[in-house]
Amino acid sequence: MSVYLHDIPLPEAQARLDAALQAAGRSGRLGVEEIPLDEHALGRVLAEPVWAKLSSPHYHAAAMDGFAVRAEDTAGAMPTAPVMLICNEQASYLDTGDPLPDWANAVIPIENVEPLSESGQPASEPRRPWAIRIRAGITPWQHVRPLGEDIVATQLVLPEGQVLRAVDIGAIAACGHSRIRVARRPRVAIIPTGNELVPIGQPVQAGEIIEYNSLVLAAQVNAWGGEAHRYPITPDDFEQIRSRVLEAAREHDLILLNAGSSAGSEDFSARVVQAVGELLVHGVAVRPGHPAILGMVYPDTERNTAPLPLIGVPGYPVSAALTGEIFVKPLLARWLGTVVEEPLSVTATLTRKVTSPAGDDDYLRVAVGRVGERLLAAPLARGAGVITSLVRADGIALIPRGSQGLPAGAPVRVYLYRSPAELERTIFAIGSHDIALDLLAQHLAERQRRLASANVGSLGGLVALKRGEAHLAGSHLLDTQSGEYNLAYVRQYLPDVPVKVVALVGREQGLLVRKGNPLGIRSLLDLVRPGVRFVNRQRGAGTRVLLDYHLVLLGLEPSAVVGYNQEEYTHLAVAAAVASGRADCGLGIAAAAQALDLDFIPLFQERYDLVIPAEYYESDLLAPLLDLLHQPKIRQAVAGLPGYDVSPMGELIASFE
C-alpha cells in the first residue's frame, strides 16, 4: 500500500475504524473491575446497575430534636387548653436521627414543648423532664423520616453507564454498598516522535520545538476517562519508532503516535503501521487535522493476538487537539460504555467572511459575544500551529465540506467551550491591538467580566461598530489633515451611530530592530536602503496609516520598501517577525520591542482611544472596564510599560450624538 496521503471524508474514516474494531473484538467495553467505594471512584463508569441493599433510612428516624409521641395523644391541644403528656409513657426525648420507638408515630420539636418537673414547675433538665405540656396538636408522621424515605431496598439507585459524581458515591454508600463494579479504564500510550522535539523545561535552540502535544493529549485522555501513559520522545528513526509501538501495544488498548503523517519522505507513522499492522486511513478530509492516520497494529510480530487501534496524530498542536476530540473521545466513550454528549450549541452570526477547502469539514475556532440582541462569532487565527486560538476560543463551528466557506453575516452553529452565562458577561472588542487591553483583561476577571478581542486593525474596528458587531473598538488613526487621532474617522465611518471616544493611553511608535541594530537603521528613510527588509501592519491598521502618512511626507514610494506587502495583525507579531529574522525592522510600539528583546528607535507619539457606542457606554456590562481606567493600580501597571503615557487614561475625548 502506498504511504502517500489520500484524504477521505470523515464519516468514511470513522466507518473503516468501526469495522476494524468490530473484527478485532474491541468495539465494546474492554473489561470490568471491582473497586472500593471511596473518593477515587469519582468519574468512574458503572459497569452494572446499582440496586439498593438497604433502605435509607432503614428505620423510622426523628427528623429533629424533640419528643416522640402518639399523634392521637396530642389531639385537642390548644393555647387555651394545653395537653400534658407523661414522659416514658406518652413521650420520649430523641435527638435528630434517633430511631422512633415502636409505639410512637410523630415527633414534637423541643422548641414547641414546655418541660415540666413532677411538681408542675419548669424542669431543670428540659431534655429529661417528668412531663411535657403542649399547646398544639400534630399529625401522624410529622417531623419523622420514615423508613425508605430516600431509598427503598431493592430499588434501582443508579443505572449501568453512569459516570459517577460525588453525590452518586454518597447514594451508593447510603444503600449499603462498599464496593462497586466499574468499566476498566482504557490504557492509552502516547508516543511523541521527532528529531526537533525537546522535553518541557529544557532550553530550546533555533529549529527545536518544545514537546507539549503529549501533555495535551494525555490530559484529554484522562479527562475522558482513560488512563494515559506518555512515552519519552522517540527520534525520527523507523526501527526505533517501530520498536516503541510494539512495546506500547503489549500493555495498552490504544496508541497515539504523534506527529501523525505527511506527504514528505519522513512519513514514519504510516510506514510503521504498515510494518506492524494494517493502515486503514491515510489522511482525513478535515481542517485542521487532515494528516491523521488510522490503523490497527499487532502486539507481536507473529500476529497471534488481536490487533489494537493506532491513531497517527498530526504534529501541529491545534490539529492534534482536534484529532483527540474527533477520534479519541468517542472511542474511549465506546470502551467505557458511555455516550458522548454533544456540547451545548448556539446559533451565532459570523463577523467576517471565511473560506474553506471545498472537500473538507472545516473546524473554525471563534470568539463569541452578545452585542445588543445578536450573538456574534468572530473567527480566530486559522493556523494549525496556533494553540492560543484554542485557548482564546469560546467555541468551535463546523463548516461542512462542500460549502467552501461562509459570508460575513451568515448564521453558524457554534459548539460552546464556555457556558452561556460567561458569554453574557463578555465584553466584545474588535479593532486595534494594544497590550494595555491585555492588562485590563486580567483585572476584569476579578469583576465578573471577560474581555474577548479580535485584532482586525483600527478601521476594521470602526466598521465592526457600524455593523453592530462589538461593544467597543480600539483605534489610533491619525487624520493627516488635522493631526488629530480617531475623531475624523469616527465622523466618517460612524455618522449615524452615537458613540463616546475615551482615551486609553498615549504611546510611542517607532522602529523595532534586532538587538544591537546591526544594520544601523535610524529612520524611515532607511527602509528603502538596499538589504533592509521591512514587515508591515495590515491595511486599515492605525500603524499602517501612520506609516503611509510619513512615507508621503518623505516622498518615499511604498513599492521601494522591501516587505511593504508582508503584513502582520499585531505589534507582537511584528516584533516576532523581526526577532525571528524574517524581517530586519517593523513599525510598532516600544512594549512589543521589550517583550522580544529588540531595540527600539522612537519616532512618533500617538493616542490610542476606545470608541464605544453610547448604548454600551452607560451599560452595566462595561461599567467595570470604565472604572478600571481610573484605578491607580491599573494606571501604574500600564505606566510601567515602555513608551506608555497614562495621563489621558479614562478621559472622555469626544461625544458624538
Confidence class of residue 263 from pLDDT cuts 50, 70 and 90?
Answer: very low
pLDDT given for residue 5 in this prediction: 54
Per-residue pLDDT band for 66 (boundaries 50, 70, 90) equals very high
Is 383 a residue whose pLDDT tops 70? no
What are the pLDDT digits (tens) for 524-544?
A: 999 999 999 999 998 888 899
Which residue, 486, 347, 446, is CA-closest to 406?
347
Distance from the Cα of residue 143 to its chain's centroid: 46
**Amino acid identity for residue 380 in this structure:** L
Q: At what angle do helices 542-554 and 458-466 cross, to 10 degrees?
A: 130
List pLDDT tens digits, range 394-422: 889 988 888 888 898 899 999 998 888 88
- Is 597:515 a contact under the CB 8 Å cutoff? yes
Considering the chain, what percentage of its residues have pLDDT values greater than 90?
68
Q: Which residue type occupies 265?
A: S
Q: Going by DSSP bridges, is the β-strand pair 197-198/209-210 parallel, antiparallel, or unpaired? A: parallel
For every residue of 577-614, DSSP letters joined together read HHHTTS-SEEEEEHHHHHHTT-EEEEEEEEEEEEEEEH
Residue among 263, 262, 197, 206 nearest 235 (CA): 197
Taking the model in full, what pTM does it have? 0.79
Per-residue model confidence as pLDDT tens digits over 108-156: 999 999 999 998 899 988 889 999 999 999 999 999 999 988 889 999 9
**pLDDT at residue 147, as a whole number:** 92
- At 385, the pLDDT band (50, 70, 90 cuts) reads low
Give mean pLDDT, residues 193-217: 88
Cβ neighbours of 636 (radius 10 Å): 10
Average pLDDT, the chain: 90
Q: Of 583, 597, 596, 593, nearest to 644 (Cα)?
A: 593
**Chain Cα centroid distance, residue 313:** 21
Q: Report pLDDT for 87.
A: 94
Residue 389 is predicted with a pLDDT of 66
